Chains A and B, each alone.
Chain A
Amino acid sequence: MATELEELIEFLSHDSPPIKKAAVNIFRDYTGSEDGLQSLGKYSAVAVPSLCRLLAEKKEVSEPAAEALVNLSQVPDLAAKMVEMGIVKIVMDILYKIDCDIKHLLVMLIVNITQLDAGIESLLQNGDEKMQGLYIMKLVRSFCGSSSERKGDDPFEHVASILVNISQKEAGRKLLLEPKRGLLKQIIRQFDSPSPLRKKGVSGTIRNCCFEAENQLQNLLLVSEFLWPALLLPVAGNKIYSEQDTSKMPPELGNALSIEREAVDDPEICVQALDAIYLLVLQEAGRRAFWSINGPRILQVGYENEENPQVIEAFERVGSLLIQENGVDTDSTQAT
């Protein structure tokens, strides 16, 4: 078995195109199964450089190569080796070539790579002063510039997951929150996308970024115009709010709540939004801002109609924090 594998891997760099094509397809099939991955064992690492070279070639070869790499990158050790070999740069270079036709696969590869700290670091380019954050900016621009209008053709959809991954690290959050780069603003706007993957990714990213509330509240609150709708609309229920309520809200929120709308049906998004609100409300200025947009009233209404137990729990977490932190009663809007 061993020698066959070695041969197969050698064929990945064969001069003859049909042989190369056959080899990479077989290799990809191997990586598609758990057993296959096991049996590839230590040869996987040897194969990676060859596979990377194939990424730059025609689609008939680059596509299976990319698929194979995506499969391999699900194994943490292999992913780590890939990062060491500089896969982030290789992938980003190819991704942004003019006629790249395997974009979605490359993005998925980066998603897997960023499950590792080393992968995140490599993508953030923190070590390089001049280039720092450049990859992320490119990806965000692609993410926000494209959309899922044409069904099945949203190559940058998975950037949503990349953002969730990198925002799990402080360095990633810092980059996303930098006011001058304006990344957060761009990302939040994607929350309105019909694509559930995009929506969820944005929601998760915002939630993660709110962990910086203690030190960077201003960078969060200063995109309030987009932030509050993204956090509150999912948990506002689907009833139409009264004029009395909406008159106390900024227009982007008040207008959205004055019309009929579909409820967000993914409980995970609701919980993420409530978690994010919790983190913001922990800070004094965050609390103040939340009250000033009539936030507690929205939570009250949303809570009344909520049925999912996890979401109810999340509502109650925020609610009790608000009551606890606010000694002064407001005129009408005490929750629970």
Chain B
Amino acid sequence: MALLMDPGSEPITNDEIVDLEAIAALKESAAIELKEKGNEYVKKGKKHYSDAIDCYTRAINQKALSDPENSILYSNRAHVNLLLGNYRRSLQDAEEAIKLCSTNVKALYRAVKASLLLNLLDEARSYCEKGLQQSPDNEELKKLAKQIDAKKLEHERREAEVSKAVLAAKDIISALEDRQIKLGKAMYQELTGIKKPVLDNNKILHWPVVLLYAEVMSSDIIEDFCETDMFSTHLDMISLPYACFLVNVSLLNMFSEGSPPLPWDTDNAYSRDALELYYEADSGASFSKKEALNYLLEGTVASHLENSGGEETDAATRTSFSSGNGPKWVKVNERRTLHDILRNSDIIVPGIPVFFIVSKKSSFYRDFKSGNWSPPKIA
């Protein structure tokens, strides 16, 4: 028989007082019973965890126990929530338990675990320290402390790597701005993979450069074309079977001695003196600063920072010719440096610079120069 008291009303008679005391005692023993039932459910295994939670919750709702006792209830519920993977709820319970009894080491332990699983490293550390204050020899807590330190270190290391990648990308963007070089969407990534320019210790740019033999659309990559190098230097190296230049330039040893220079060049039209180099002018739209940054961060540890969407213009289709007639080919004076060429206002670097090689001696040359030929679209 439950007597419901209105809040604010007071017992008048002795009988009522006795009744109230009886009810309180009932509630108390109910709560204790529920707690023990909950504990048993936990022991019974996974299938009964939600029942355990239910018991603990009902026990708490009796509001009949002291703070330390309620603390244990919350702490136990936190434990089961942990087992169930409800980390948020577990943390809340553990925190409540700690509020009710700040020396509850088990609650502190569970708070640490839950925080760790939620990657709240600072909270985890704070609870762990409090726990070790209460119980300095607690091996479990000490283990957790080590885990937290390791995680923090890893986190910081990752952050440092990300900042470094972003900084490097920004340095390149500013270097491009200084040189008035326009960057646009990469065009031949299926040939090259993701390649990026690099700044050396003297803040000089080194580009990976693609050379396309237009006649057959076969390609070659110069891995490290320093912007102060002349084209002739690199062309010399492609055409000769041995190196006659200096340090730090990667060798392009396409040829072994004695074999024909290019396997498809049966007429030997592509001799050194017959080579001409061209780039396509006005070949698309240039990136905004943000797009350029995203492009440079692609494939790095910081790629998660790329904004999806943004104002990307459709530079992929190479149909934005200035004249509408066919691609506009501009010849490259091979005694110029890469930097000299890239800063022309009509060139947009498609990710990395791409140059087309043709031979004056080949019959293809006429088609090429007349503007009738355009590079096949590589999807």
Contact = CB atoms under 8 A, between A and B. Distances in A.
Nearest to A283: B202
A328 to B, nearest CB: 5
B266 to A, nearest CB: 29
B230 A285 contact: no
15 contacts: A179-B179, A216-B203, A217-B204, A218-B202, A221-B228, A222-B179, A224-B228, A225-B340, A283-B202, A284-B248, A285-B226, A288-B229, A292-B230, A292-B233, A330-B246
Given A218-B204, A328-B246, A288 B228 contact: yes
A293 B335 CA distance: 9
Given A218-B203, A326-B246, A328-B246, 7 more contacts: A219-B178, A221-B204, A221-B228, A224-B339, A251-B336, A289-B226, A327-B247
B336 A250 contact: yes
B200 interface: yes
A285 B335 contact: no
B201 interface: yes
Interface of B: 175, 178-179, 200-205, 226, 228-230, 232-233, 244-248, 333, 335-337, 339-340
Contact of B247 (A218, A254, A326): A326
Interface string A286-313: 1011011100000000000000000000
Interface residues of A, number: 30
Residue of B200, B228, B247 ringed by the most chain A CB atoms within 10 A: B228
Contacts of A179: 178-179
Given A217-B203, A288-B226, A293-B230, A250 B335 contact: yes
Contacts of B226: 285, 288-289
Interface string A271-291: 000000000000111101101
A137 interface: no
B228 A289 contact: yes
Contacts of B201: 284-285
Nearest to A219: B178
A284 B230 contact: no
B202 A250 contact: no
Contact of B245 (A222, A284, A330): A330
A114 B247 CA distance: 43
Contacts of B339: 222, 224
A35 B305 CA distance: 73
Contact of A284 (B178, B202, B335): B202
A180 interface: yes
A285 B247 CA distance: 11
A331 interface: yes
Contacts of B340: 225
A293 to B, nearest CB: 7
Residue of A222, A254, A328 ringed by the most chain B CB atoms within 10 A: A222
Interface of A: 179-180, 216-219, 221-222, 224-225, 247-251, 254, 283-286, 288-289, 291-293, 326-328, 330-331
Binding site of B, secondary structure by majority: helix, strand, loop or mixed?
A: loop
B349 to A, nearest CB: 16
A289 to B, nearest CB: 4
Contacts of B335: 247, 249-251, 254
B200 A285 contact: yes
Contacts of A248: 232
A327 B229 CA distance: 19
A247 B233 CA distance: 11
A100 B248 CA distance: 56
Nearest to A253: B335
Contact of A288 (B175, B244, B246): B246
A240 B226 CA distance: 30
A286 B202 contact: yes
Nearest to A246: B335
A254 B336 CA distance: 12
B204 A291 contact: no
A328 B244 CA distance: 10
B235 to A, nearest CB: 12
Contact of B178 (A180, A288, A289): A180
A331 B204 contact: no
A211 B165 CA distance: 30
Contacts of A283: 202
Contacts of A285: 200-202, 204, 226, 228
B337 A224 contact: yes
A251 B230 CA distance: 11
A313 B23 CA distance: 109
Nearest to B179: A222
B229 A292 contact: yes
A247 B339 CA distance: 19
Nearest to B339: A222
Contacts of A326: 246-247
B217 to A, nearest CB: 30
B223 to A, nearest CB: 15
A180 B201 CA distance: 21
A251 B333 contact: yes
Contacts of B244: 330-331
A276 B232 CA distance: 26
Nearest to A218: B203
A63 to B, nearest CB: 44
A250 B337 contact: yes
A43 to B, nearest CB: 51
Contacts of A254: 335
A286 to B, nearest CB: 7
A77 to B, nearest CB: 42
Contacts of B205: 218
A91 to B, nearest CB: 32
Contact of B248 (A219, A225, A288): A288
